[in-house]
């Protein structure tokens, strides 16, 4: 199958290629997915790809005065961090799954560990740690240069919005 890292992925692939063993589609690649930049709200925030692994994606949010939520301190509003972490965790789901599948955010929680440092870019690393037939579970952290000193921690869930995936069907069954 597509990469060995995601053990749950094979049963979820059967919607499009159940039982096929030859010519698999290339695995979902978040760097390629974002190579032309991000449109819509992510584009407004100038979010860009930074790095990824088998089940995680890290995005980059440049500091801008327009993103300030507290004029007294210059600290960023949580909306931009919410947007970045929603996108990073969403991409992490497809990366772990190995393919794009439409889904919608059910819920997202952010714990603010400390204020973002004024003037510094923020990195958001989203991880998908579990995928079931209908739901994916995600978590992540945002930092502004030092991953060991995160400024926010997130946890959330997504629900797939396409037809439910059945259990894998063996070829010829």
Q: What is the dihedral of CA 8, 14, 20, 24, to 10 degrees?
A: -70
Binding other proteins by CB under 8 A: which of 23, 107, 146, 162? 107
Residue 33, classed as helix, strand or coil, is helix
Q: Specify burial of residue 115 (Cβ count, 10 A radius: 0-12, 13-18, 19+).
A: middle
Instruction: Report the site for other proteins in 47-76 (rule: CB under 8 A).
Output: 65-72, 76
CB of 76 to other proteins, least distance (A): 8
Residue 106, classed as helix, strand or coil, is strand
79 token code pair: 């909306």
Q: Does 78 bind other proteins (CB under 8 A)?
A: yes
User: Which lies closer to other proteins via its Cβ, residue 42 or residue 98?
Assistant: 42
CB of 152 to other proteins, least distance (A): 9
Interacting residues toward other proteins by CB under 8 A: 39-44, 65-72, 76-80, 82-84, 86-87, 102, 104-112, 115
């Amino acid at each position: 199958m597509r990469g060995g890292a995601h053990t749950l992925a094979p049963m979820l692939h059967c919607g499009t290629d159940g039982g096929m063993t030859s010519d698999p589609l290339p695995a979902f690649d978040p760097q390629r997915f974002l190579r032309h930049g991000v449109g819509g709200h992510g584009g407004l925030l100038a979010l860009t790809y930074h790095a990824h692994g088998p089940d995680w994606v890290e995005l980059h949010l440049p500091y801008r005065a327009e993103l300030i939520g507290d004029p007294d301190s210059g600290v960023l509003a949580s909306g931009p961090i919410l947007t970045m972490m929603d996108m990073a965790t969403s991409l992490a789901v497809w990366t772990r799954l190995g393919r794009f599948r439409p889904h919608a955010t059910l819920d997202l929680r952010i714990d603010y560990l400390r204020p973002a440092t004024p003037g510094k870019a923020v990195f958001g690393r989203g991880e998908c740690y579990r995928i079931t037939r209908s739901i994916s579970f995600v978590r992540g952290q945002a930092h502004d240069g030092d991953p060991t000193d995160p400024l926010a921690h997130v946890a959330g869930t997504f629900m797939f919005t396409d037809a439910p995936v059945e259990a894998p069907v063996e070829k010829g069954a």
